[in-house]
């Protein structure tokens, strides 16, 4: 069973300018990872860039500011990206018979699986329901590994797949040509086959947002939340201020702190935390129906080149 880390709600790519910056970045990140359990770091296999993941826009801003001030890291940054997921909406079957010849050695692995939508929050569940002797036990972990790798990049938009159940129910092997590598490849391709039939959907993180504003600002603040695809759950008057409880997609919360201060003359405050992942449904007539790095990426994303979060750079520097 695998659960996707909820800390990775937002990500930003970091590309050091020089080898010295790359070394300082590594030193800084080792320290920050030890101090901050919510920070995640990985390397983008396609571009070689470092990818920082955190819980919010302000979280990433603090990390990047510390890298610049405390470790003198100079780097190009990508645009912040929301941590979407994918999931399945109906059962489906997948099958792959991987058979190839390399020189004198053959490779053979044959896998059949069922996939089912899972209960939200349960993560990925793998079950082995193979009849005894159909596939030797030593190949089952390799099949699971191949499925896990395929789930890290869904067929819909390349996002991790979550809250699904995969049942290995049949297959076959060859006494000589079967190997762990062959069954890993077969498992991965069987998952992709099933995923295309399982009507995958995009899931977006929806935040529980609590806003405190002066009473005379309540109307403009609520309208602004609704313009961000937010749903206001309640509004309560308390000690001269109005407390608003809302649910808002994370992709629509970029820049909200600055916006709120402007609409309340600096008197508004807010806090937010992850509520749940919900199927992405763009508002009618909104730009969310288009491809977007922050809104709803529906195709493989290009290498980010611009950023609303930036390390200090000398005048005249360019991304080229």
Looking at CATH, the fold of the domain delimited by 86-199 is given as: Ribosomal Protein S5; domain 2 (3.30.230)
Mean pLDDT to the nearest integer, 299-316: 37
What count of other Cβ atoms lies within 10 Å of the Cβ of residue 256?
A: 21
Asked if pLDDT for residue 185 goes beyond 90, the answer is: yes
The strand ranges marked E within the chain are: 10-16, 40-43, 50-54, 75-77, 81-82, 85-87, 92-102, 105-117, 124-128, 164-172, 201-214, 231-238, 241-249, 269-279
- pLDDT tens digits for 53-100? 998 888 999 999 999 999 999 999 988 889 999 999 999 999 999 999
Looking at CATH, the fold of the domain delimited by 203-279 is given as: Alpha-Beta Plaits (3.30.70)
Average pLDDT, the chain: 86
Asked if pLDDT for residue 286 goes beyond 50, the answer is: yes
First-residue to last-residue Cα distance in the chain: 43
- Whole-model pTM? 0.77
What residue segments make up the domains of the chain, in order of their start? Answer: 1-79+304-320, 86-199, 203-279
203-279 shares the fold of 86-199: no
Mean pLDDT to the nearest integer, 286-295: 46
Query: Phi, psi at residue 18, to the nearest 5°?
Result: -135, 170
- pLDDT tens digits for 110-131? 999 999 999 988 999 999 999 8
Query: Phi, psi at residue 49, to the nearest 5°?
Result: -70, 150
- pLDDT tens digits for 232-267? 999 998 888 999 999 999 999 988 999 999 999 999
SS3 45: coil
User: Residue 31: pLDDT band by 50, 70, 90 thresholds?
Assistant: very high
What CATH class has 1-79+304-320?
Answer: alpha beta
**Distant-in-sequence, close-in-space partners of 192: CB < 8 Å, separation ≥ 6:** 94, 150, 155
Strand order in the sheet with 164-172: 92-102, 105-117, 164-172, 124-128
SS3 200: coil
């Amino acid at each position: 069973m695998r659960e996707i880390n909820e800390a990775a709600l937002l990500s930003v790519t970091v590309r050091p300018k020089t080898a010295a910056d790359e070394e300082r970045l590594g030193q800084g990140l080792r320290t920050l990872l030890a101090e901050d359990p919510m920070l995640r770091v990985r390397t983008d296999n396609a571009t070689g860039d470092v990818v920082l993941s955190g819980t919010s826009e302000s979280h990433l801003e603090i990390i990047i500011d510390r890298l610049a001030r405390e470790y003198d890291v100079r780097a190009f940054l990508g645009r912040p990206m929301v941590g979407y997921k994918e999931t399945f909406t109906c059962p489906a079957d997948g099958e792959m018979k991987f058979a190839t010849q390399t020189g004198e050695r053959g490779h053979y692995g044959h896998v059949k699986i069922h996939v089912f939508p899972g209960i939200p929050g349960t993560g990925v569940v793998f079950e082995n329901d193979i009849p005894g002797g159909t596939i030797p036990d030593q190949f089952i972990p390799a099949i699971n590994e191949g499925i896990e790798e395929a789930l890290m990049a869904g067929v819909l938009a390349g996002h991790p797949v979550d809250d699904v159940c995969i049942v290995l129910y049949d297959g076959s092997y060859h006494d000589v040509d079967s190997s762990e590598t062959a069954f890993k490849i077969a498992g991965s391709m069987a998952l992709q086959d099933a995923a295309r039939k399982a009507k995958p959907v995009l899931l977006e993180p929806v935040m529980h947002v609590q806003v405190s504003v002066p009473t005379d600002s309540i109307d403009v603040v609520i309208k602004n939340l609704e313009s961000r695809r937010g749903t206001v759950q309640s509004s309560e008057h308390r000690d001269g201020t109005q407390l608003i409880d809302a649910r808002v997609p994370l992709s629509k919360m970029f820049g909200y702190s600055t916006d709120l201060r402007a609409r309340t003359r600096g008197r508004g405050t807010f806090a937010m935390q992850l509520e749940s992942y919900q199927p992405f449904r763009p508002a009618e007539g909104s730009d969310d129906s288009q491809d977007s790095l922050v809104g709803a990426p529906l195709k493989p994303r290009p290498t980010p080149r611009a950023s609303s979060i930036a390390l200090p750079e000398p005048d005249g520097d360019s991304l080229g």
